[in-house]
């Protein structure tokens, strides 16, 4: 019993489409014209009976048409309404209005060329029926003019609706891609920011632990610097979430600090140059990732860092004397490659007697 009540409550004549609204009910105002001819001509009981039966059969097909927007579902509805129009035309000249309804639904099939052919065919059928049954002048006017006009107008709005639907899908896809891109940006930024800083924190913590018994004063100094680094890391995390903007000068300072803490001699030659914001960011993050990888993985004693400009070209070169190796690219290096290639640059990694990383913009 409750299931039946739920079905009654959920019953809808029209689909939940905000664009339709109440307009389908307004379009039914054309339907009473079916009763004008029988009433004005004092039609027979048979004509009245056929008219009422046709209207009762038409209404379900009418509302069903709003639930069906695909060709295979609309075509039977269009054919059924045309058939009703032909049958009713034998006793009622107002039946031509059913051809108008059929044309309006034919305009909504998901193929514009097919819709045009259907509207033309319905128009021809309406004219032929008017000729066969010697219909009144208004039947000819409706069949020859109103039917194709209404069909054409509905076809236009159907195409506009489909175009708008595609635009909405495209807009939703763009929003989705923007969200994904932002997540990837935050992931890369967090890796680039925290990877470098956490490496420095680990090195300073290890150094402070070793100096605790040997040189308490220096150990205290290292712990204080560790506190500053941690505070700076927190600030960087906040900046990364909001859209971190690194500068090359800041990264040079960080590189020197990290290499010094790791006991690696750094020969850094990066002159002050004016760069576009996006190029400077990419170089800054590349420098950060490269130095972090040297400290973490190379076992190097010395690293050489050069930035060379040649006209519009720039080349950042980071070479160490570590054990090298041909390890698979990790998340940091992949993120660096994505950043570099996004602005038309290239990234090279060479091994042999150490590792050389070159970024060319």
Residue 134 domain boundaries: 2-169
Structural domain includes residue 176:
no
Whether residue 287 sits in one domain with residue 155: no
Structural domain includes residue 148:
yes
Whether residue 140 sits in one domain with residue 255: no
Domain final residue, candidates 169, 184, 212: 169
pTM for the whole structure = 0.52
Return d(Cα 166, Cα 117) in angstroms, integer. 24
Domain final residue, candidates 154, 169, 184: 169
Distances (CA, A) of 341 to 41, 116, 146, 338: 81, 49, 60, 5
* CATH classification at residue 294: 3.30.565.10
Whether residue 252 sits in one domain with residue 165: no
Residue 361 token pair = 């913009």
Contact 300, 354 (CB under 8 A): yes
Contact 51, 35 (CB under 8 A): yes
Structural domain includes residue 240:
no
Among the listed residues 299, 288, 301, the one whose alpha carbon sits nearest the alpha carbon of residue 333: 288
Structural domain includes residue 230:
no
Whether residue 273 sits in one domain with residue 165: no
Whether residue 132 sits in one domain with residue 26: yes
Return d(Cα 134, Cα 102) in angstroms, integer. 21
Phi first, then psi: give them for residue 39, nearest 5 degrees.
-70, -40
Structural domain includes residue 213:
no
Whether residue 159 sits in one domain with residue 40: yes
Domain final residue, candidates 169, 195, 215: 169
Whether residue 162 sits in one domain with residue 257: no
Long-range contacts of 248-252 (CB under 8 A, 24+ apart): 248/275, 248/280, 248/283, 248/284, 248/287, 248/307, 250/284, 251/284, 251/285, 251/287, 251/288, 252/287
Whether residue 254 sits in one domain with residue 163: no
Whether residue 21 sits in one domain with residue 113: yes
Whether residue 297 sits in one domain with residue 155: no
Among the listed residues 295, 344, 338, 294, the one whose alpha carbon sits nearest the alpha carbon of residue 319: 294
The number of domains in the chain is 2
> DSSP string spanning 249-316?
HHHHHHHHHHHHHHT-EEEEE-------HHHHHHHHHHHHHHHHHIIIII--SEEEEEEEEETTEEEE
Tens-digit pLDDT string for the chain (361 aa) = 456 555 655 567 777 765 677 888 888 888 888 888 888 877 788 889 999 999 999 999 998 888 876 667 889 999 999 999 999 988 888 889 999 999 999 998 888 899 999 999 999 999 999 899 887 888 888 888 999 999 999 888 888 887 887 877 777 777 777 667 767 766 766 666 666 667 777 777 777 787 777 888 887 887 887 777 777 776 666 666 555 566 788 888 888 887 887 788 888 888 887 888 888 888 888 888 888 888 877 788 889 999 888 777 888 999 888 876 556 667 777 778 888 888 888 988 888 778 888 999 8
Residue 64 token pair = 């069903």
Kindly report, residue by residue over 313-344, the tens digit of the pLDDT. 888 999 888 876 556 667 777 778 888 888 88
């Amino acid at each position: 019993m409750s299931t039946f009540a739920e079905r009654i409550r959920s019953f809808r004549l029209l689909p939940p489409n905000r664009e339709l609204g109440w307009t389908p009910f307004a379009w039914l105002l054309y339907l009473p014209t079916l009763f004008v001819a029988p009433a004005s001509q004092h039609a027979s009981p048979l004509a009245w009976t056929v008219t009422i039966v046709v209207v009762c059969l038409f209404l379900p097909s009418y509302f069903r048409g709003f639930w069906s927007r695909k060709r295979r579902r609309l075509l039977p509805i269009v054919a059924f309404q045309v058939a009703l129009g032909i049958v009713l035309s034998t006793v009622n000249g107002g039946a031509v209005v059913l051809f108008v309804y059929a044309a309006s639904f034919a305009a909504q099939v998901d193929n514009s060329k097919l819709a045009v052919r259907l509207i033309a065919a319905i128009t021809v059928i309406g004219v032929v029926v008017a000729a066969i049954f010697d219909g009144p002048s208004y039947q000819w006017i409706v069949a020859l003019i109103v039917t194709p006009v209404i069909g054409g107008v509905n076809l236009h709005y159907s195409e506009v609706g489909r175009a708008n639907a595609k635009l909405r899908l495209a807009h939703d896809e763009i929003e989705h891609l923007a969200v994904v891109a932002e997540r990837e940006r935050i992931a890369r930024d967090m890796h680039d920011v925290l990877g470098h800083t956490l490496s420095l924190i680990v090195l300073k913590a290890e150094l402070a632990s070793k100096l605790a018994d040997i040189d308490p004063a220096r150990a205290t100094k290292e712990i204080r610097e560790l506190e500053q680094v941690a505070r700076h890391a927190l600030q960087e995390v906040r900046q990364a979430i909001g859209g971190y903007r690194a500068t090359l000068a800041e990264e040079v300072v960080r590189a020197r600090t990290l290499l010094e803490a790791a006991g690696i001699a750094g020969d850094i030659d990066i002159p002050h140059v004016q760069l576009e914001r996006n190029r400077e960011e990419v170089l800054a993050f590349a420098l950060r990732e490269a130095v972090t990888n040297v400290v973490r993985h190379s076992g190097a004693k010395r690293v050489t860092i050069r930035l060379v400009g040649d006209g519009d070209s720039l080349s950042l070169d980071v070479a160490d004397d570590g054990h090298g190796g041909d390890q698979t690219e990790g998340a940091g290096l992949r993120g660096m490659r994505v950043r570099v290639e996004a602005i038309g640059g290239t990234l090279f990694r060479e091994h042999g007697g150490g590792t050389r990383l070159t970024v060319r913009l």
